[in-house]
Amino acid sequence: MPNIIACCKWVIDEAYIRKGPAGALDFSTVDYKISDYDRNAIEEAVCLKGLHGGSVTVLTAGAPEAAKGVKDALSRGAEQAFFAGDPSFNQLESSQTAAILGEIIRSRIPYDLVICGEGSSDQYAQQVGPRLAENLGIPCISYVQKLTIGEDGRILAERRVEEGVEVVEAPLPVLVTVLPEINTPRIPGVRDTLTASKKPVVAIKKEELPPVGAARLQTMGMTATRMERNCEKFAATPEEVARFVGALQKLGVIS
Amino acid sequence: MEFKLTEEQELIRKNMREFADKYVEPIAGEIDENSRHPAEVFKRLAEGDWMGIPIPVEYGGAGADYLIHILAVEELSRSCASTGFTVSIHVGIACMLVLLNGTEEQKQQYLLPMAKGDKLGAFVLTEPGAGTDVMAATTTAVLDGDAYVLNGTKTFTSNGPTGDTYMVFAWTDKAAGRKGMSCFIIPKGTAGMSAGTHFQKMGLRSSQTSEMVFKDCRVPKANLLGKEGAGLVMAMAGFDHGRVGIAAQSLGILQAALDESIRYAKERVQFGNPIARNQAISWMIADMATELSAARFLTYHASWLKDQQRVFSKEAAMAKLYASEAAMRHTIKAVQIHGGYGYCKGAKVERLMRDAKITEIYEGTSEAQRMVISGNVLR
Ligand SMILES: Cc1cc2nc3c(=O)[nH]c(=O)nc-3n(C[C@H](O)[C@H](O)[C@H](O)COP(=O)(O)OP(=O)(O)OC[C@H]3O[C@@H](n4cnc5c(N)ncnc54)[C@H](O)[C@@H]3O)c2cc1C
């Protein structure tokens, strides 16, 4: 009966990002969601619990507003949550997130299996999973599209790699990062959401954790793609195609 | 004053939007074209507790606020107004009638399976000669031993051909006037009750509407809902709930019209520019967005009053009147923004415009809402 931890991140729902006048991204009216692949992580944990028993704990670190995401995660079938919320956790980089999650897991949550999404919907750095495994000193299986726990308690994972599918086996405990192909996340029912508020959430304050290392990355800028209409028409003749290529070269789009 | 949904309300709204995008939007055109009741969607709605949101858990519902039901109807209607309406009339009128007036046995036997979504409810009041003028009804229920015997013809019954549990209104004492009509719970398969074939309609086509014929239909005394003679009062209270649902349905239609209009106006290029750059177009969109907001506040306010257990008849009528007329006005504009493409099958706005019209007619026409509102404010 495995104790499973599913890690999830509360991210900006990209559907709500708008383009400001000068091409800057406008986040003023955005809504948030559980990062897409993390929904697969939670779903997989809950499905495995359905098959083998055990427990599912969701774990997240983020801004205090991510409490709503914790509720969302609990409505998807986990029975408890650990939530490290602090305003300074809003823009954590992968190494910092992994350090925080690792510390919480080691000191507070007994586990056999940790499941993360392959990458987050906002940055898609694909770093937290492997870094967290390293932090915990356990093996990491990434790019997983199918997961089974055998009779002997070993885990069997199908990894989708560039040249095909790789099947690997490992003893627990282990960390896996999952791809969206692994399952279809449920849409919680009304009662699932209402009862989520009654499930236990262990809140962890920043002060209870060792200091988070300094950020190493710096965001230089973020702008929206631009579409400009020049109302120039090209026909599908060889001469026109040549003229089209010339126009692109002149604009510096190709060289 | 708080203009904010709770976290639960927001999450549930989002879940319904996802549900509608995934299971309803892709088939909405087809079920409209074929006038098909999407049983497969209702099975999924039942699984997610969407068919009895404001009904207490002990009677098979989700035990949530009425506002959450309203949000669900709005989001569903954004994809398919027929599906949103079917949920609205099932929950807002059929289930609410039994919840508010039923005995414990009636709640266990009839409300529980309806609120779980295993059975579909229907509201059977209108007759060929009695629409707005409910008092002109002629269907009678005569007590004979331990049963009432119903005779008469009803029409425009939503979920007529597809329903399981019918709330039927008939005179038990015509001479008593407003205190002479009663309501009966009649399950499908009762001898003497039959549903006609569904009408071919301009819009709301996947919702099944038909005549209901009662010929010496014997209904046990135990199926009388509430007191004998209380039917009209119960129907009016049912309408209060239902009308907030129709307002929500109108919001969904209007939101969809706005979404489609914004998308198309930015995309469609004429005279070298997206048509949204023309003030004639962008002002239509400004008005649409403004009236949608106004309609939404009216609707949520009416629903909030209901949740606070306050009187909400007038507010329900106002919300329904304003939201339905706004939906009609602006779906016409949405088609205009789409030009010829909006007039052809396959454009969502074409369906939205046809569906919008019914919101001004059923559960009381706009004229009937104005009667309710003026009756209230001129008191
Ligand atoms: C698709 C659909 C589904 C329906 N579902 C149901 C259902 O599930 N159950 C049910 O019982 N009924 C249902 N109805 C019936 C619906 O509620 C009635 O159609 C509506 O109440 C209007 O009645 P009517 O059609 O007889 O119009 P009428 O009452 O004949 O009205 C005709 C016109 O005259 C106006 N009018 C009437 N009286 C007045 C007045 N005193 N002052 C000013 N104007 C007036 C009306 O507003 C309307 O414009 C449904 C109807 C439709 C079309």
> Which of B198, B214, B231 is at the close of a domain?
B231
With the most atoms of ligand 1 within 8 angstroms of its CB, the residue from B35, B83, B126 to mutate is B126
Q: Are residues B200 and B271 in the same domain?
A: no
* The pLDDT value given to residue B257: 98
The pLDDT value given to residue A220: 85
Check pLDDT > 90 for residue B112: yes
Q: How far is it, in rounded angstroms, from Cα A133 to Cα A141?
A: 9
CA dist., res. B107 & res. B100, Å (int): 10
Residue B246 CB contacts under 8 Å (≥ 6 apart), including other chains: B85, B88, B320, B323, B324, B359, B362, B363
Percent of chain B with pLDDT over 70: 100
CA distance B99 to chain A (A): 19
Interface subset of A 49-88, CB within 8 angstroms of B: 67-68, 71-72, 75
Quote the CA–CA distance of B109 and B59 in Å, as a whole number.
Answer: 9
Interface touch A189/B63, C-beta < 8 Å:
no
Query: Measured between alpha carbons, how far apart are the two ends of chain A, in Å?
Result: 60
Q: Which of B4, B6, B10, B11 to mutate to test the interface with A (most CBs of A within 10 A)?
A: B11
Quick one: which atom of ligand 1 is closest to the CA of B201? Answer: 1
Same domain, B243 and B368: yes
Asked if B135 contacts B178 with a C-beta cutoff of 8 angstroms, the reply is yes
Residues B54, B112 within the same domain: yes
Q: Same domain, yes or no, for B227 and B237?
A: no
CA of B159 to the centre of ligand 1 (A): 17
pLDDT at A123 over 90: no
**Looking at the predicted structure, is the pLDDT value of residue A41 above 80?**
yes
Chain B residues near any Cβ of chain A (below 8 Å): 7-8, 10-12, 14-15, 18-19, 22, 47-50, 53, 57, 62-64, 68, 72, 269, 272-273
CA distance B19 to B48: 10
The CA B365 to ligand 1 mean position distance, Å, reads: 6
Residue A127 has pLDDT above 80, yes or no: yes
Nearest to B254 by CA among B209, B287, B278, B279: B287
Q: What is the pLDDT of residue B321?
A: 98
Residue B2 lies in a domain: no
- Residues B138 and B239 both lie in one domain: no
Please tell me the number of Cα atoms within 13 Å of A77 on its side-chain side.
22
Contacting residues of A for B72, CB less than 8 Å apart = 190
The domain that holds B128 is classified in CATH as 2.40.110.10
In a domain, B270, yes or no: yes
Structural contact between residues B132 and B365, judged by C-beta atoms closer than 8 angstroms = yes
Q: Coil, strand or helix: which one is A86?
A: coil
pLDDT (mean) for A109-131: 95
Radius of gyration of chain A from its Cα atoms, rounded to whole angstroms: 22
CB burial string B123-145: b at 16+ within 10 A, e below: bbbbbeebbeebeebebbbeeee
Beta carbons of B157 and B199 less than 8 angstroms apart: no
Between CA B32 and CA B146 the distance in angstroms is 44
- Asked which of B181, B213, B231 is the last residue of a domain, the reply is B231
Question: Is residue A228 pLDDT above 80, yes or no?
Answer: no
| Six-digit token string for B129 | 């000669």
Give the chain A residue nearest B48 (alpha carbons): A189
Helices B348-359 and B231-267, interaxial angle, to 10°? 160
β-bridge mates for residue B87, sequence order: none
- As given in the structure block, the two tokens for residue B239 are 């309408």
Residues B113 and B129 occupy one common structural domain: no
What is the C-alpha to C-alpha distance for residues A33 and A11, in angstroms, rounded to an integer?
Answer: 6
pLDDT of residue B222: 98
Q: Reply yes or no: is the peptide bond before residue A173 cis, omega within 30 of 0.
A: yes
Res A218 pLDDT > 90: no
Beta bridge partners of B169: B183
* DSSP percent split of chain B into helix, strand, coil, nearest 5: 60, 15, 25
- When scoring B4, B5, B6, B7 by the number of chain A Cβ atoms within 10 A, the one with the most, hence best to mutate, is B7
Query: In terms of pTM, does the model score above 0.90?
Result: yes
Are B65 and B144 members of one domain?
no
The span from the CA of B289 to the CA of B63, in Å, is: 32
Residue B347 DSSP code = -
- B157 belongs to a structural domain: yes
* CA pair distance A128, A119, nearest whole angstrom: 8
For residue range B294-306, list pLDDT tens digits in order: 999 999 999 999 9
- Report the pLDDT averaged over residues A126-130: 96
pLDDT band of A102, cuts 50, 70, 90: very high
A155's tokens? 């885990």
Burial track A20-47 (b if 16+ CB lie within 10 A, e otherwise): eeeeeeeeeebebbbbbbbbbbbbbbbb
The residue among B180, B198, B231 that closes a domain is B231
Residues B238 and B369 in one domain: yes
- The answer to whether position B139 is within a domain reads yes
Give a yes or no: residue B24 inside a domain: yes
Cα dihedral sign, A83-A86-A90-A96: negative
Give the structural domain span for B64: 7-119
**Side-chain-side CA neighbours of residue B306 (13 Å):** 32
Q: Going from the N-terminus, what domains does chain A have, and what CATH number goes with each?
A: 3-208 (3.40.50.620)
The whole-angstrom distance between A162's CA and the closest CA on chain B is 30
- Residue B213 neighbours by CB under 8 Å, 6+ apart: B153, B154, B193, B194, B195, B196
The minimum CA-CA distance between B73 and chain A, rounded to whole Å, is 13
One domain, residues B265 and B307: yes
Q: Backbone phi, then psi, for B214, in 5-degree steps? A: -115, 120
Q: What pLDDT was estimated at residue A223?
A: 82
Whether residue B336 is contained in a domain is answered as yes
Residue of B22, B48, B272 lying closest to A190 (CB–CB) = B48
Would you say A92 and A123 are in contact if contact means Cβ atoms under 8 Å apart? no
| CATH number where B82 lies | 1.10.540.10
Q: How far is B265 from chain A (nearest CA, A)?
A: 15
Claim to verify: residue B262 and residue B129 sit in the same structural domain: no
Q: Which pair of tokens denotes residue B159? A: 């979920």
A131 touches chain B (CB under 8 A): no
pLDDT band at B92 (very low <50, low <70, confident <90, very high): very high
Look at chain B and report how many structural domains it folds into: 3
Query: With an 8 Å Cβ cutoff, are A190 and B12 in contact?
Result: yes
pLDDT value of residue A255: 80
Are B320 and B363 in contact, with CB atoms under 8 Å apart? Answer: yes
Residues of B designated as active site: 363
Residue percentage of chain B with pLDDT more than 90: 98
Q: What is the pLDDT of residue B379?
A: 87
Are residues B83 and B176 located together in one domain of the fold? no
Strands (E), chain B: 121-124, 140-144, 147-158, 165-171, 181-187, 193-195, 209-220, 224-225, 269-270, 273-274
> What CATH number does residue B338 fall under?
1.20.140.10
A8 closest CA partner among A121, A108, A91: A121
Question: How many residues are listed for chain B in this entry?
Answer: 379
Are B363 and B240 found together in one domain?
Answer: yes
User: Which residues of chain B are within 8 Å of residue A229 when distances are taken between CB atoms?
Assistant: 269, 272-273
